[in-house]
């Protein structure tokens, strides 16, 4: 059973995080806490390091030898940046959804079963139950229940993105990282995914990168504003969008730059 949400519990504690692409430093001394069962947004102008920060949190950069992170990211008493971390396990606990839907060229059912089969030995009934549950959670079940064994590529872009969210949720992650998950979608599909965030937060914590300030204001509980690789302000969303503490945040949200 999923534990009941605890108010103000910190799920992720980022301390003095620096990130380098080769010799080029991209993140500078980022320190912030991510609360459990809430939506944390990351905003800032293009190139400020939002995606880099997100990708650091599930060690995506490990695929590229010239990229490295320094500092500490505490998750369940472990430092995510430690060389001793089991990366496969980490990525089941901290799932990711990308900007463009990344449905695999296989059936809708197998798209979701894929990650589950890698980490768990469920019998067919349990597997079907898990898949039904996550498809219901992302409100895709009614649209696909009669074609679960058809190719996922036959779905619309918005449906594929909900499938990708279902796939990420199927391994029961603690945290879901979302990198501009609606930027390739039409307004109706976007609204659909925004509505899901509240529902997902019942059992998971979310960190979402978005360029859309209205979306950040509508959907997040706290927001971090990044500028040139530094965290300029981290605040409750309502406060950041109505009475920001830093003048650069004010300039950005009022459209003076970015």
Q: What is d(CA 89, CA 177) in angstroms, rounded to the nearest whole number?
A: 15
In contact, 149 and 190? CB cutoff 8 Å:
no
Burial pattern 205-219, b for ≥16 Cβ within 10 A else e, equals bbbbbbebbebbbeb
Is residue 8 part of the contact set for ligand ATP (CB under 6 A)?
Answer: no
Q: State yes or no: residue 58 binds ligand ATP (CB under 6 A).
A: no
- Least spacing, CB of residue 67 vs ligand ATP, in Å: 7
Within 10 angstroms of residue 149's Cβ, the number of other Cβ atoms is 10
Interaction pattern, residues 217-256, with ligand ATP; x per rule: CB under 6 A? ----------------------------------------
Does residue 215 bind ligand ATP (CB under 6 A)? no
User: Would you say 222 and 215 are in contact if contact means Cβ atoms under 8 Å apart?
Assistant: no
Candidates 50, 91, 162, 167: give the one binding ligand ATP (CB under 6 A): 50
Half-sphere exposure of 190 (CA within 13 A, CB side): 15
Residues 9-28 that bind ligand ATP (CB under 6 A): 21, 24, 26
The answer to whether residue 49 forms part of the interface with ligand ATP (CB under 6 A) is: yes
Selected from 17, 30, 39, 48, the binder of ligand ATP by CB under 6 A is: 48
Phi and psi at 16, nearest 5°, equal: 45, 55
Kindly give, in sequence order, each residue whose CB lies less than 8 Å from that of residue 135, ignoring residues fewer than 6 positions away.
Answer: 112, 141, 144, 145, 166
| Closest separation in Å from C-beta 123 to ligand ATP | 41
- Residues that contact ligand ATP, how many (by CB under 6 A): 12
Residues between 119 and 178 that touch ligand ATP (CB under 6 A): none
The whole-angstrom separation of Cα 19 and Cα 21 is: 7
Binder among 37, 43, 51, 155 for ligand ATP (CB under 6 A)? 51
The three-state secondary structure class of 1 is: coil
Convert residues 59-98 into a mask of x (bound to ligand ATP by CB under 6 A) and - (unbound). ----------------------------------------
Interface with ligand ATP (CB under 6 A) = 21, 24, 26, 44, 46-52, 211
């Amino acid at each position: 059973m999923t534990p009941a949400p605890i108010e103000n519990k910190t799920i992720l504690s980022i301390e003095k995080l620096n990130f380098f692409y080769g010799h080029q430093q991209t993140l500078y001394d980022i320190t912030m806490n991510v609360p459990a069962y809430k939506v944390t947004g990351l905003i800032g102008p293009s190139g400020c390091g939002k995606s880099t920060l997100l990708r650091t949190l599930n060690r995506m950069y490990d695929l590229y030898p010239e990229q490295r992170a320094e500092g500490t990211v505490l998750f369940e008493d472990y430092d995510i940046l430690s060389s001793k971390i089991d990366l496969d396990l980490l990525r089941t606990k901290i799932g990711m959804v990308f900007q463009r839907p990344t449905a695999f060229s296989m059936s809708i059912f197998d798209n979701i079963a894929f990650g589950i089969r890698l980490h768990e030995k469920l019998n067919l009934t349990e597997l079907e139950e898990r898949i039904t549950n996550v498809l219901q959670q992302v409100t895709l079940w009614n649209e696909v229940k009669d074609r679960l064994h058809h190719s996922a590529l036959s779905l619309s872009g918005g449906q594929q993105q909900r499938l990708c969210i279902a796939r990420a949720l199927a391994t029961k992650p603690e945290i879901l990282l979302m990198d501009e998950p609606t930027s390739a979608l039409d307004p109706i599909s976007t609204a659909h995914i925004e509505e899901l965030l509240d529902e997902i937060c019942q059992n998971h914590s979310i960190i979402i990168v978005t360029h859309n300030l209205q979306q950040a204001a509508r959907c997040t509980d706290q927001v971090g504003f990044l500028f040139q690789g530094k965290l300029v302000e981290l605040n409750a969303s309502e406060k950041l969008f109505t009475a920001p503490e830093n003048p650069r945040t004010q300039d950005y949200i009022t459209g003076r730059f970015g």
